Amino acid sequence: MKITLLDALEGGELGAALRQALTSETLLADHRLREERFAPCQGCFECWVKHPGTCKAKDAANDVMRDAMAADVLLWATRVRFGCWDPIAKVAFDKAVGVLSPFFRAIAGETHHAKRYARYPRMGVLAVLPKDAPPGEAETFRRLVARNAANFHAGAPWVGFVGEGDPPEAVRAALAEGLDALRRPRDETLPKVAAFAEDVRQGVPPKAGPRHVALWIGSAKPAGTSTSEALAGALEARLVERGWTSERVHALRTTKLGHPRAPKLVDAARRADLLVLASPVYIDCLPSLVLAGLGHLADAALDPPPALLPIIQCGFPELEHTALALAVVRRAARALGAPWAGHLALGGAGAIQAEHLDQRGGRMHHQVDALDQAAEALNAGRPLPIAASERFATPLLGPRAYRAVGQVGWVVHALKEGAALRLWDEPFAPEEP
């Protein structure tokens, strides 16, 4: 088998054991991701409608996509935290979305991106768990990788776990098992994901002075241009009307991948009574900058931590696509010791774009009413009502209609960019032997 290795580990014994275990295989490419540069994905869609199949950034993304498509197996090595990828691994994954077509297709009733290429590599992951990993960490990550692989048309993946500090023999044994599994015929069954089930919700108690809400904008788009910021801003406006103070921090400005701290984000969280994380879904989960920021917040040992309320939106119309992102935020909240104020999640949010919700008219009345309920409850010291979460999640369009409108939308975007005839380009198709 031809293997492309995407290694997000810090090196040391685990990395050495990983490569020793692959000596009998054809290692097509060896990417040490921490030594390569990746700009965070901005969700600009230019890899679909302007220069189809390639990323505009002058970083390692195109090399990773090229080497991935030339391989039989794409083998990842990552540490697991909050049931998710290491941020360095996740940014490489986020930036590989150009290997997919922008066009939608229904798989087992769910919306997914169609294939750009006729053939995709299998996917394997060597996952390193911390010694103090909380219960369910491995299972959350296993479910996430299964969905990642399905979205990349890779079939059922192999996920093998080793512990931090395990001997090299454990790595070699896990990889031997994994490579054997990846030689078997691929299973194309789409793994279903259950709806997000959360714990007890808690409110933000009133205090002598005004309460303070910090909006943490997880989109890497410029300030004021993202759907995530539009959604969070609508809740912010309602809280400010009720006497709260507010501030906004943007992941792109406060978090750098590979840096040990994010002081501006941590300081904003320290000032806040309520931290609202507004983020898109990138490949079934949170963007790399948000994952890095959650790690910084957990490491900061905030005392007391603010209550946490995520607003998660996805471009696919089905709400199920937000479930694993919410599960990861919930695991992070437990690590922070942060009260869970509830959540808001919405599928098909691309229809909102960056416009303020209150300017969209009757089509958004479910979301507007839900935000009114949310602000009223939070201001009274109560958690966000479950009914508000359910109302907010009301689809803007049914899946079939959304896919139909979306197909036309991609063509229109490409026509504006002069790239309509290149929408089906395969820039990294392997050369025929």
Side by side, which strands form the sheet with 73-79? 26-32, 2-7, 73-79, 122-129, 158-163
User: What average pLDDT does range 280-290 have in this prediction?
Assistant: 97
At residue 13, the pLDDT reads: 86
Q: What is the pLDDT of residues 75-109, one digit of tens each?
A: 999 999 999 999 999 999 999 999 999 999 999 99
Helix (H, G, I), strand (E, B) or coil at 276: strand
In the CATH hierarchy, which fold is given to the domain comprising 1-181? Rossmann fold (3.40.50)
Q: Can 1-181 and 210-391 be said to share one CATH topology?
A: yes
- The rounded distance, in Å, linking the Cα atoms of 255 and 173 is 36
Surface-to-core class of residue 202, CB atoms within 10 Å of its CB (0-12 exposed, 13-18 middle, 19+ buried): middle
357 pLDDT higher than 80: no
359 pLDDT higher than 80: no
The secondary structure of residue 394, as a DSSP letter, is -
At residue 24, the pLDDT reads: 80
Q: What is the pLDDT of residues 108-136, one digit of tens each?
A: 999 999 999 999 999 999 999 999 999 99
Structure tokens at 218: 């997880």
At residue 295, the pLDDT reads: 98
At residue 353, the pLDDT reads: 66
| pLDDT > 70 in the chain, percent | 98
In the CATH hierarchy, which fold is given to the domain comprising 210-391? Rossmann fold (3.40.50)
What pTM does this model have? 0.96
Provide CB contacts within 8 A for 410, sequence distance 6+: 48, 49, 102, 103, 423
Q: Are 257 and 80 in contact (CB under 8 A)?
A: no
Measured between its terminal Cα atoms, the distance across the chain in Å is: 15
Q: What is the pLDDT of residues 39-73, one digit of tens each?
A: 999 999 999 999 999 999 999 999 999 999 999 99
User: What average pLDDT does range 366-392 have in this prediction?
Assistant: 96
User: What average pLDDT does range 172-197 have in this prediction?
Assistant: 90
At residue 188, the pLDDT reads: 84
- The rounded distance, in Å, linking the Cα atoms of 275 and 151 is 31
| Structural domain boundaries in the chain | 1-181, 210-391
Give the model's confidence band at 360: pLDDT under 50 very low, under 70 low, under 90 confident, else very high.
Answer: low
Q: What is the pLDDT of residues 213-246, one digit of tens each?
A: 999 999 999 999 999 999 999 999 999 999 999 9
Least confident of 152-166, 179-193, 328-342: 179-193
Give the model's confidence band at 354: pLDDT under 50 very low, under 70 low, under 90 confident, else very high.
Answer: low
Q: What is the pLDDT of residues 251-278, one digit of tens each?
A: 999 999 999 999 999 999 999 999 999 9
Q: What is the phi/psi pair of residue 156, to 5°?
A: -65, 130
Backbone Cα Rg of the chain: 21
Q: What is the mean pLDDT of the chain?
A: 94
Q: What is the pLDDT of residues 15-41, one digit of tens each?
A: 999 999 898 889 999 999 999 999 999
CB burial of 134-163 (b: ≥16 within 10 Å; e: otherwise) equals: eeebeebbbbbbbbbbbbbbbbbbbbbbbe
Identity of the residue numbered 92? A
Identity of the residue numbered 13? E
CB burial of 251-282 (b: ≥16 within 10 Å; e: otherwise) equals: bbebbebeeeebeebbebbeebbbbbbbbbbb
Q: Are 235 and 342 in contact (CB under 8 A)?
A: no
User: What average pLDDT does range 247-252 have in this prediction?
Assistant: 98
Structure tokens at 147: 């969905």
433 pLDDT higher than 70: no
Give the model's confidence band at 375: pLDDT under 50 very low, under 70 low, under 90 confident, else very high.
Answer: very high
- The rounded distance, in Å, linking the Cα atoms of 283 and 152 is 9
